[in-house]
Amino acid sequence: MRSRDGNNNLTLRLCSIIFLTSLALNASEYLISYRYVVKDAIIFNESLDISHAMKSCNGKPQDKLILENTSDSNLNKLISQNQEEFLEYIHKLGLHIEHKEQTINLQNTSTTILTLKTTCFKVDINDNFVIIAPLK
């Protein structure tokens, strides 16, 4: 004879597996790259490129970022609305830093370039929130 708790636990497990599988299947994959150039302590250039992945990416989702959604399904607009939070997130993922400094005739010039190489992200856009996770 089965107990009520055992049946409820099994039903809960099945529902959670179905829900998580549907999230994984509905999520889209995007390629995101970022470049930030500072020349002589002045922001020279900043670019954030986002595009759909043409092929499915391999890897498992890592540390995720959850952003609030204002019923918009365009990832570019969602990231621009939450730009500071997203930039802090990709800084934590790790950026490649290149720094050059040169002194000629007592004139110092420097250039610093921060780069997030093109990385595949799994993105799930719902009505209330957006989940962004890099695949590694």
Q: What is the pLDDT of residues 57-69, one digit of tens each?
A: 888 988 999 998 8
Q: Which H or E element spans position 56? A: none
Report the distance separating Cα 130 and Cα 75, nearest Å. Answer: 9
Domain residue extents for the chain: 28-134
User: Global pTM?
Assistant: 0.72
Question: d(Cα 74, Cα 68) in Å, to the nearest integer?
Answer: 13
Summarised one tens digit per residue, pLDDT across range 6-51 is 555 665 565 455 444 444 545 789 999 999 999 998 999 999 999 9
How high is the pLDDT of residue 19? 44
In DSSP terms, 129 is beta-bridged to 68
Token couple for 122 = 């799994």
Instruction: Using CA atoms of 10, 16, 17, 23 in order, give the dihedral in degrees to the nearest 10.
Output: 170
Report the mean per-residue pLDDT for the chain. Answer: 83
Helix boundaries (H) for 27-136: 75-81, 83-93
